[in-house]
């Protein structure tokens, strides 16, 4: 059966939410992200993009390119609320929904043409989202995820595009190879050095040549360029929290040992957050004493997945909680109220260099194991480390940069 895969993307999501809350921002160049000199742009309005500003760029450079831009730190809580609203609307309206990020969705509409046209249904669904949320949204509809995602990007801003069955290669051919998902700046430069700048050139190249140059990645890029993508739409299940607990073989009062363990737990959970492209805004620490009395303390924070924020907060909660100086049977750490986050460790703070450091650390953990890289205060704690990714079951998933 011919598939019908819908891709929907909220246009400049953070900017659109800010404008929904303050109409005075309409039509003006907007930059959302860290507001200091070391900040990173999380989202840029189309007016700011005209001057060359874009997400992932250092805020200082973006301001130089567009000095008239209004810079907003951003409100992760509001963005999460509107993302949940859109998710609820779509979940009620499509057979299978996959939430790819805080502002991006896939839906499998295959077979619905038997009852009504998929394109017409997608059009009505888009209008429903706009009406009920007030936010602009674009969509692409085709036989697979890759072509639909590219179609969405070509339809923006706030529009829609259908690619009929059999027209996938013709649609992709005249586009820049940079339009293919997973072709980042580095890969684009390598392809350009080979004289490959248009998708049509990729389509005409022998797949063996790309495999020889780039390995399995070359095969994947060739398939995407030719409109080949059999990936299914994965049903969406929102994970609300992640946690870790340690029951001691022998009850203990060794506070240094317990502190080392809760620090290691916090580091490991923060690593898992980044692997699953998640951010947390609520921390809980739990203690169970030898008499089985269980106590916990909770703290709300700004959305983050950064060790240097989460670990001190966990230590602070533990020190407030452990005040009886009795034998302890179990300690635990939980991060909850999760939302999606991308390449930035914290969406709206001024740590562009820190982001690079975490990327490097996580790359080492993915390659050699999370237990081999930890802070000085937790190096002696090895038993709780794990490479398991609780969000998708894949042990070596590395978050990809995605332009907002």
Q: Structure tokens of 386?
A: 């794990």
Cβ atoms within 10 A of the Cβ of 23, count?
A: 8
One of 18, 47, 98, 104 is an active-site residue; which one? Answer: 104
Q: Does domain 241-378 have CATH number 3.40.50.300?
A: no
| 1-164 homologous superfamily | Reverse transcriptase/Diguanylate cyclase domain (3.30.70.270)
pLDDT score of 255:
92
- Six-digit token pair at 184? 């980042």
Coil/strand/helix, residue 210 = helix
**Closest to 150 in 3D by CA, of 205, 209, 229, 258:** 229
What pLDDT score was predicted for residue 402? 36
CA–CA distance from 347 to each of 285, 304, 389, 400 (Å)?
24, 7, 21, 15
Count Cβ atoms below 10 Å from residue 366 Cβ, excluding itself. Answer: 17
Residue ranges per structural domain of the chain:
1-164, 166-237, 241-378
The β-bridge partners of 7 are: 106, 140
In this prediction the pTM is 0.70
- What is the pLDDT, as a whole number, of residue 338? 84
- Distance from C-alpha of 122 to C-alpha of 147, rounded to nearest angstrom: 16
For domain 166-237, the CATH superfamily is: 5' to 3' exonuclease, C-terminal subdomain (1.10.150.20)
In this prediction, residue 337 carries a pLDDT of: 84
Write out the two tokens for 135. Answer: 């936010």
pLDDT at 240: 78
Average pLDDT, consecutive stretches of 10 residues, N- to C-terminus, the chain (404 residues)? 91 95 95 81 94 90 95 85 92 91 92 79 96 96 96 96 95 96 89 93 94 92 95 81 89 92 92 83 92 91 85 94 88 88 53 58 57 49 42 36 36
Determine whether 104 is an active site residue.
yes
Q: Can you give the pLDDT at residue 230?
A: 93
Question: What does the DSSP 8-state code read for residue 36?
Answer: S
- 178, 114, 166: which is closest to 142 by C-alpha? 166
């Amino acid at each position: 059966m011919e598939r019908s895969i819908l891709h929907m993307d909220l246009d400049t999501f953070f900017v659109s939410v800010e404008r929904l809350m303050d109409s005075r921002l309409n039509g003006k160049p907007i930059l959302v992200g860290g507001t200091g000199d070391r900040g990173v742009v999380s989202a840029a309005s189309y007016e700011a993009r005209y001057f060359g500003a874009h997400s992932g760029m250092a805020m200082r450079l973006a301001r130089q390119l567009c000095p008239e831009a209004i810079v907003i730190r951003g409100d992760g809580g509001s963005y999460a609320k509107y993302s949940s609203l859109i998710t609820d609307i779509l979940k009620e309206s499509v057979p299978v929904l996959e939430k790819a990020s805080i502002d991006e969705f896939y839906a499998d509409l295959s077979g619905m043409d038997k009852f009504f046209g998929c394109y017409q249904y997608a059009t009505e669904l888009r209008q429903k989202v706009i009406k009920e949320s007030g936010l602009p949204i674009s969509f692409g509809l085709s036989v697979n995820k890759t072509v639909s995602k590219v179609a969405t990007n070509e339809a923006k801003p706030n529009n829609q595009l259908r690619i009929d069955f059999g027209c996938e290669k013709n649609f992709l051919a005249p586009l820049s190879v940079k339009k293919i998902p997973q072709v980042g700046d580095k890969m684009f430069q390598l392809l350009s050095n080979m004289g490959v700048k248009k998708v049509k050139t990729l389509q005409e190249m022998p797949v063996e040549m790309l495999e020889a140059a780039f390995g399995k990645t070359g095969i994947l890029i060739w398939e995407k360029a030719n409109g080949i993508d059999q990936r299914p739409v994965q049903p969406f299940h929102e994970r609300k929290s992640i946690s870790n607990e340690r029951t001691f073989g022998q009850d203990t009062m060794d506070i240094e040992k317990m502190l080392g363990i809760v620090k290691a737990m916090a580091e490991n959970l923060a690593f898992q957050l980044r692997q699953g492209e998640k951010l947390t805004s609520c921390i809980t620490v739990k203690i169970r004493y030898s008499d089985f009395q269980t106590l916990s303390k909770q703290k709300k924070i700004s959305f983050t997945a950064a060790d240097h924020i989460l670990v001190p907060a966990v230590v602070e909660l533990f020190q407030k909680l452990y005040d009886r100086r009795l034998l302890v049977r179990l300690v635990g750490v939980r991060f909850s109220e999760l939302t999606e986050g991308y390449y930035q460790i914290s969406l709206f703070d001024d740590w562009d260099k820190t982001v690079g450091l975490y990327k490097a650390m996580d790359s080492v953990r993915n390659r050699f194991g999370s237990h081999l890289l930890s802070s000085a205060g937790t190096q002696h704690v090895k038993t709780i480390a794990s490479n398991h990714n609780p969000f998708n079951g894949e042990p070596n998933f590395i978050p990809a940069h995605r332009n907002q």
